[in-house]
Structure 1
Amino acid sequence: MSKGTQSTDRLDQQVQLLKDKKNIILQGAPGTGKTYTTASLAVRLCNPSFTELEDHAKVMEEYERLREDGQIAFCTFHQSMDYEDFVEGLKPEIQDGHVTYKVESGIFKRICDKAGKATGEDIISCIDKYIQQIRGYENRREISAKPDKTKLLVWYTEGNRTINMRNVLYESEKGEQYAPYQPNIDKIKAQAIGKGVENNHTAYANAFIKAVKEEYHVEEGTRTKPHVLIIDEINRGNISRIFGELITLLEADKRTDGGAHPIKVTLPYSKESFSVPSSLYIIGTMNTTDRSTGAIDYAVRRRFAFITLEANREVVEGSIQDKDVRTKALALFDEINGKGAEDKTSFIATHQAGDFDLEDLKVGHSYFIAKDLPELQRKMRYEVIPLLHEYIKDGILQAKEGDGEYFSAWEQGECRGPKQAEVSKDPEADKE
């Protein structure tokens, strides 16, 4: 399995967790890719047909399109944010020379309203899209037919009013493109919405409908399309105060349009009846080394699932094209973070202090990705070294004699000490 496939599989697992829990928090040290992962998750959830997840620029382009369409909203929590900013509050305005107050919705209420009202593509339009994807025998798909778990090949011939189907094991003298089963498209659509049946090929029509639903993530009983609220630095705000009584409504079973025990509340200012729709998903990010914030309380933790993003050496290795720069970047990554979880000789491991986990203190992989040596040197001088100085100042790393030698070497993009030649050796070098 390729790294790209592994990455997509991992992302799909995270998307499934988000669908199940409705609320997740990505936590990790600075530079571990939390912000970019939120964008990838939001795009994958909102547009399951988007497949170019390995292309950073295209992911961000699709993210921006979805944001402009209102399916994705973004905000950052901070210590002065409160319920009135996030949900709704009274805002002053001047009318006829007098100060009056009006109720103004916050970002959370606005996206809940959008998610509750927006209807997504129904099964009919999804069938039409799927048919275009299987146009021509060369674009045939393999689907499953229940209850006997038969595997079917399906494809569409331009101009026909039927779908071509045959068992994957079926052989005919008429050629491989012969289709003994040809359910009618209009009857398939009628069967999909419960207003008819493909009486000649009912089971095959059901198999086709199931394949379409799986392809486009069409859920039973709902036509709403997903909306995502991204909350950056979620632990920098007082979450219980910001959400107020709505914290209970975040639970999956308390949501409307899908929850087992939907709840509505009356908002204090507008007096409107309010609920959180099942089609709204919340993705928060949290910096695990930020000591300026308080801990997230248990009431909040119960309503979120947590995904930890770690500093990943493979990302550095796969992101740098220049061999010499890659060699230096990997050597620096190893010297600062260690070669693995058991490496206790790294800078982070030998300077660890306080009660932080070692993984929380590692410098994220994004700090080591550079296109050339000058960029790598700038990142070390102006980003990595200041970050480590801040950790030392905050007491989560302890200063040691000889730290200056490390910092001086890193500013040049080099490792410190006699181990450099061994540590920084490029595994590709032996192949040349």
Structure 2
Amino acid sequence: MKNTETILAAAAEWRQRCLLKEGSLFSERALWTRTNFEELRVLFVKRPEADSGPSFLEKLEKQLRSGSPDAKCLWAEMTWVYLLIANRQSRKPANKRKLIVDIWNWSGRDFQDAHPLLDDTVLRAGVVHVGQRYNQGWMEFRFFIISMLSWFSLEPDMRSEYVDRPWEFASWLDSTEFAEGSMFRHAILFLLFPDEFESIISGKAKKKIVTYLHDSAGVGTGNMVYVDKAILAIRKRIQQEYEDGFHFYARPVSELWQPSQADVWFRRRFSDAERVWLMNVGAGDRDLWPAWLERGIVTIGWGELGDLGRSQQDIQNELKSRGRGEKPSQRAHFLFNFGNEMKVGDIVIAVKGKKRLLGWGEVEGDYRYDSDASWEFTHNRTVAWRPCEEPVSIPERRRGISSKRLTDFTPHKLWVRFAFWDMDRPGDTTLPIYTVEDAHEDLFFSRARLERLVTSLKNGKNLILQGPPGTGKTFIARRIAWCVIGYADDDPIEMVQFHQSYAYEDFVQGFRPTKTGGFDLKDGVFHRFCQRARKKPGTPHVFIIDEINRGNLSRIFGELLMLIEADKRSEKYGLALTYSDDRFHVPENVHILGMMNTADRSLALVDYALRRRFAFETLEPAYGTAEFEEYLERNGTNPDLIRRISERMGELNEKIRKDNELGRGFEIGHSYFVPGEGEETSDTWYEHVVDTQIEPLLREYWFDSPTDVEATVARLKGNGAT
């Protein structure tokens, strides 16, 4: 896996210097000792509620304040180990380094500048995207301390044996207090024994992988060591097909144990299919598979019955009259499905009994009743078959499938994904799945609210994010779009910005001058986008409009103002466009996501035109919220500066809200104080933002009160009062 060599080499130094020699990563002292961990147990584990503060780091500083310099230096090194596995998207290298050095400085001891273990090449080489729970870390550090206290209570010879015996070490680690449910437990095992343990820190995810991917049914998941051994067996099996390696969280393997991904995979691969059918060629007296391949058809048998293009009850009555049981409802059901429910474009998977996959195909023809054919071929459909080179054995745990001739398997997408995994050749390199959980990272409102935004755009088709400047509308919009699409894929996304000169001809269709002096009819950006979306009806497409309130919407949309309504997305509502006689409609899979700055004074002029056709969601500044402050803390911002930002900007926004000429829509958002990649936060950085971004905005707001602006800026910078 990319980057693992760097962090594993660093972890090997930790193993040698600290776990075996009781030394130190950043000094020549003996820090990793039972005595020092016992001190941390008293200071931290035994006082979980002591000196509670507004942040984990502030609370920690108070808890360690009475501790020895060794205890504080040890915690800094523990932090290095703890964050080693976190990738740069979770914790930036500069912020990791600052946190480690700041904690070390609590000891009052000098720190070696430019230490190689704190180099960017090490700190940015993490391989796991850790979430908020891992970043907060209180329970994880409790486990860290107790497990290390237990470790250094062992005899040195026993420790030397354990570090060379992965499974015995894991069993020992799981026997320590607080190991159950710990994410850091998994991180330790990967860092020390990468050949045996995965870079996955979620026990629930590991158990799910085993449940879905292990060949044998009934593998227990109660013991995490058994789970890890089972995952190793799964890896060895899958690795045979992927010489260049794979990851359980990357496609296509992720689609085999995450049902939601299997459904998205099906929509992307088979955008024209309404259903997927399981056809059992071994359910009758003879093997029809060779004949199906030769003729390019699929058949259902039961040739003595008449045309199946009738009601299920009629078919059932005929079966009963022919002595096929008193209540032959199941047979009537699959015969009815073959004649009436199966459609052109549907997918058929051919199986032999419950043990073998033979191939798959796409239905290309409608149902045909051929009364002159032999009974096996009387009822048939044309199918473009793609047979397996050799029949593929179905693993034991997936053999609980129907033995009926025909079964609708549309609800069982995960089984279908497994089937195609077995039938396809390796090499699926499509994009990784994108979920609400992914999108929620570094957003400053609840996951429930994000889910509401995604649902609004999915179901209502049209959504506008409105809010003051700096509330992250553009940042959030793309994440919402990816959630709707199901992948972090920009191909089904188009983005434009409206302005006063934007017109129907730019957006929908119009005549454009040619080099020869004439005019050609050209489709606009939205018209072309709808054409793209029609070619992939199974893939959601999202059209993002920035500054939607700056354009003349009636002039830009024209007749499309009706066609974009959620209940008008079909051909029957198609209209002739202004410049052509062709009837046009907006496809069902097109979603429109607009963004609106509430500080724009033209908002009231367009609000009524949009209200009926769009859902509106207001984004607000996040100053003072736990999510915003935790984000700044994770990125190395000093707690005093975090409070300063939240308090001063909160006061300013309250003043703006109470201003009769401004109001809530003119508040100033938090994005101004979200540091960029590699940007370190400090008082100087804060004052620079105030001088270059906040002050010019305030001068625009209160253009007739320069003295008031100066006093407000002075208050923001801490050297004046409002």
Q: Please report the TM-score for the alignment, with normalisation by the length of structure 2.
A: 0.36
Equivalent of residue 108 in structure 1, options 507, 520, 526: 526
Alignment pair present for 1:320 and 2:626:
no
Matched with 2:181 is none
Q: Tell me by how many angstroms 1:255 deviates.
A: 0.4
Matched with 1:288 is 598
Whole-angstrom CA distance in 1 between matches of 2:655 and 2:642: 15
Equivalent of residue 372 in structure 1, options 665, 681, 685: 681
Residues 327-336 or 228-237, more deviating: 327-336
Deviations 1:327-367 (A, max 9, x none): 3243233233339xxxx9x44356x132x433x22210111
Alignment pair present for 1:20 and 2:459:
yes
Whole-angstrom CA distance in 1 between matches of 2:528 and 2:666: 37
Kindly indicate whether the alpha-carbon contact (under 8 Å) linking 1:228 and 1:282 is maintained by their aligned counterparts in 2.
yes
Alignment pair present for 1:35 and 2:345:
no
Equivalent of residue 563 in structure 2, options 228, 249, 253: 249
Letter of the 2:674 counterpart:
I
Matched with 1:200 is none
Matched with 1:387 is 697
Counting only pairs closer than 5 Å after superposition, residues 41-190 of structure 1 correspond to structure 2 as 41-47=480-486, 62=488, 66-67=489-490, 69=491, 71-94=492-515, 98-119=516-537
SS at match of 2:517: strand
Q: Please report the TM-score for the alignment, with normalisation by the length of structure 1.
A: 0.58
Whole-angstrom CA distance in 1 between matches of 2:463 and 2:657: 29
SS at match of 2:621: coil
Kindly indicate whether the alpha-carbon contact (under 8 Å) linking 2:473 and 2:619 is maintained by their aligned counterparts in 1.
yes
Pair member with larger Rg:
2
Deviations 1:182-230 (A, max 9, x none): xxxxxxxxxxxxxxxxxxxxxxxxxxxxxxxxxxxxxxxxxx2100000
Whole-angstrom CA distance in 1 between matches of 2:534 and 2:637: 53
Kindly indicate whether the alpha-carbon contact (under 8 Å) linking 2:510 and 2:523 is maintained by their aligned counterparts in 1.
yes
Kindly indicate whether the alpha-carbon contact (under 8 Å) linking 1:328 and 1:414 is maintained by their aligned counterparts in 2.
no
SS at match of 1:89: strand
Q: Tell me by how many angstroms 1:293 deviates.
A: 5.6
Instruction: Sort the Cα spacing of 1:336 and 1:7 in 2 relative to 1 into closer, same or farther, 3 A.
Output: closer
Alignment pair present for 1:348 and 2:656:
yes
Instruction: Sort the Cα spacing of 1:403 and 1:87 in 2 relative to 1 into closer, same or farther, 3 A.
Output: closer
State how many pairs are aligned. Answer: 275
Matched with 2:718 is 414
Alignment pair present for 1:300 and 2:610:
yes
Deviations 1:79-101 (A, max 9, x none): 0011011001001112xxx3121
Alignment pair present for 1:266 and 2:576:
yes
Whole-angstrom CA distance in 2 between matches of 1:235 and 1:8: 28
Q: Which fold has the larger relative contact order, with Cα–Cα distance below 8 Å and residues 6 or more apart in sequence? A: 1
Alignment pair present for 1:363 and 2:668:
yes
SS at match of 1:320: helix
Instruction: Sort the Cα spacing of 1:82 and 1:294 in 2 relative to 1 into closer, same or farther, 3 A.
Output: farther
Alignment RMSD (CA, Å)? 2.7
Letter of the 1:407 counterpart:
V
Q: Tell me by how many angstroms 1:320 deviates.
A: 1.5
Deviations 1:132-175 (A, max 9, x none): xxxxxxxxxxxxxxxxxxxxxxxxxxxxxxxxxxxxxxxxxxxx
Q: Tell me by how many angstroms 1:297 deviates.
A: 4.5
SS at match of 2:701: helix
Unaligned runs of 5+ in 2: 1-130, 134-439
Matched with 1:235 is 549
SS at match of 2:647: helix
Instruction: Sort the Cα spacing of 1:303 and 1:400 in 2 relative to 1 into closer, same or farther, 3 A.
Output: same
Q: Tell me by how many angstroms 1:9 deviates.
A: 3.1
Whole-angstrom CA distance in 2 between matches of 1:349 and 1:43: 33
